[in-house]
Amino acid sequence: MSKTITIIGAGSTTGLALVPILLQETSATLHLVTRSKVNIEHSRIVASHVNVTSLSELKSTILGQLPSVIVNLVATSSVDACEADKETAQVLNVTLVKDLVRLARATDAHLVHLSTDYIFNGERGPYAENDTPAPINYYGKTKLSGENAVITSGISSTIIRTNVVYSPFPSRPDFVHSVLKSAETNSPVRAASDLYGNPTYVDDLAEAIVRVIETAAQGIYHVGGSDYVSRYQFATKIAEVFKLDTSLIHAVQAADLQLPAKRPLRAGLSTSTTEAVLGLRFRGIESGLICLRNSLFSK
Contact footprint for ligand NAP (CB under 6 A): 9-14, 34-36, 52, 73-77, 88, 92, 114, 116, 143, 162-165, 171-172
Least Cβ distance, residue 6 to ligand NAP (angstroms): 12
* Identity of the residue, 246 or 284, whose beta carbon is nearer to ligand NAP in the bound complex: 284
**CB of 68 or CB of 76, closer to ligand NAP:** 76
- Shortest distance (Å) from residue 144 CB to ligand NAP: 11
Nearest residue to ligand NAP, scored by beta-carbon proximity: 11
Are 18 and 207 in contact by the 8 Å Cβ rule? The answer is: no
> CB of 245: closest distance to ligand NAP in angstroms?
26
* Least distance to ligand NAP, CB of residue 123, Å: 18
| 77 or 233: CB nearest ligand NAP | 77
Nearer to ligand NAP, 145 or 246 (CB): 145
Which of 173, 174, 172 is CA-nearest to residue 164?
Answer: 174
Q: In the complex, what is the shortest distance from the CB of residue 175 to ligand NAP, in angstroms, rounded to a whole number? A: 8
Is the Cβ of residue 166 or residue 232 nearer to ligand NAP in the bound state? Answer: 166
Between 15 and 239, name the residue whose CB sits nearer to ligand NAP.
15
Q: In angstroms, what is the minimal distance from the CB of 252 to ligand NAP?
A: 20
